[in-house]
Structure 1
Amino acid sequence: MRILLVLAHPLEDSFAASVAKAAKETLEGRGHSVDLLDLYREGFESRMTGAERASYFAERYDAAEVAGWIERLQAADGLMLVVPQWWFNFPAILKGFFDRVFAPGVAFEHDPAGGRIIPRLTNIKLFWALTTTGSPWWVVHLYMGNPVRRLLKRGIAAFCSKDLRFRMVSLHDMDRATEAKRKRHIKRVRALLSRI
């Protein structure tokens, strides 16, 4: 399987970077091809351009500035995100990636009758999110209703692809996580990914 592994963290020595490294090693060890897309290191600009927005409902979306990233998404069989949750959402750079790359004609088509959008990312059969959050489990799930999972699964995954396997694996209470807890989490990630 060809997997696009998207890392969205500004610090090169972050725990997210360690998770991405472990994910890449584990997946490649299982024979998968992994394309690591480090949004910060690749200089991805999160702001949508005027040309992109002006063409959003036109016959053809102006993808000139993001064509390379679109090609990588379209070449993948699976998408895996490694991302922290900040303020119960993902970082702006990942939101910009969705806004600019998951565009009309790429991830979906507008329904001519004005109804639901039509999924176009039929190549994506696996969609995983490996996340961390500073809040305890009960705050994320019981108080906030797990908004990142809802956005990714019910919004992006459901509207852009069909029949994919979605999974989200989170380390909660990250701000107080001991080294031992972090190591256990990476071990868990490796164990789960070794089943793909």
Structure 2
Amino acid sequence: MRILLVYSHPLPESFNAAIAAEIRDGLTETGHEVDFLDLYAEDFDPRLSVAERRGYYDEDYDLSGIADIAARLQAADGMILVFPQWNFNMPAMMKGFFDRVFAPGVGFEHNRAGGLIRPALKNLKFVYAFTTTGSPWWVVNLYMGHPVKRLLRRGTRSYCPHFPKFRMVNMHGVDKSDLNQRQAHLARVRRVAQSL
């Protein structure tokens, strides 16, 4: 399978970078083709431009600003996201990836008669997200209701007519974790990647 691995963290030495490397290696070892999209390294601009917003309902939406990344998304059999959760949400860079790339003609088609959008990403068989949080499990899940998981699970289904398989793998309390805990998590990450 061809898998789009979307990574978002500003620090190349981050634990999220180690997670992305484990995923990439695990997928490659099992014969998958990995398209690694490092949003920071590729200097992705997460801001929806004035022209993009003004043209959002045009018959032919202008994809020129994101055409390359949109083509990579449309060519993928699956998508894996790697990012930290900051303030109980995804970073602005990852949010901008969804705002700009999951655009009309890529992620969905407008329903010209009104009503709900029509999903356009028929190619994605699965969407996995690997995240880290500084908060403990109970804060993210019980107190906050795991907003990122809900957003991704429900949101990606809005773009995919066949309801792709969804899975989220988190490491909670990462800021206070020790080397053994991090190594155990990386081993889990690789096992999940190799199971695809």
Residue deviations 1:41-81, cap 9 Å, x none?
10001111111101111112111111111111011000000
For 1:62 and 1:99, how far apart are their aligned partners in 2?
14
- Structure 1 match to 2:111: 111
- Structure 2 match to 1:34: 34
Q: How many equivalent pairs are there? A: 195
Name segments (4+ residues, structure 1) moved above 3 Å. none
Residue ranges of structure 1 left out of the alignment (5+ in a row): none
- Structure 1 match to 2:9: 9
- Structure 2 match to 1:158: 157
Give the RMSD, CA atoms, in angstroms: 0.8
Tell me the CA shift for residue 113 of structure 1: 2.5
Secondary structure of the equivalent of 2:190? helix
Alignment of 1:1-196 (within 5 A): 1-155=1-155, 157-161=156-160, 162-196=162-196
Tell me the CA shift for residue 24 of structure 1: 0.3
What is the TM-score of this pair, normalised by structure 2?
Answer: 0.98
Residue deviations 1:131-170, cap 9 Å, x none?
0011000000000000000110012x11001231100000
Report the identity percentage. Answer: 54
What is the TM-score of this pair, normalised by structure 1?
Answer: 0.98
For 2:6 and 2:124, how far apart are their aligned partners in 1?
14
For 1:145 and 1:111, how far apart are their aligned partners in 2?
31
For 1:82 and 1:103, how far apart are their aligned partners in 2?
21
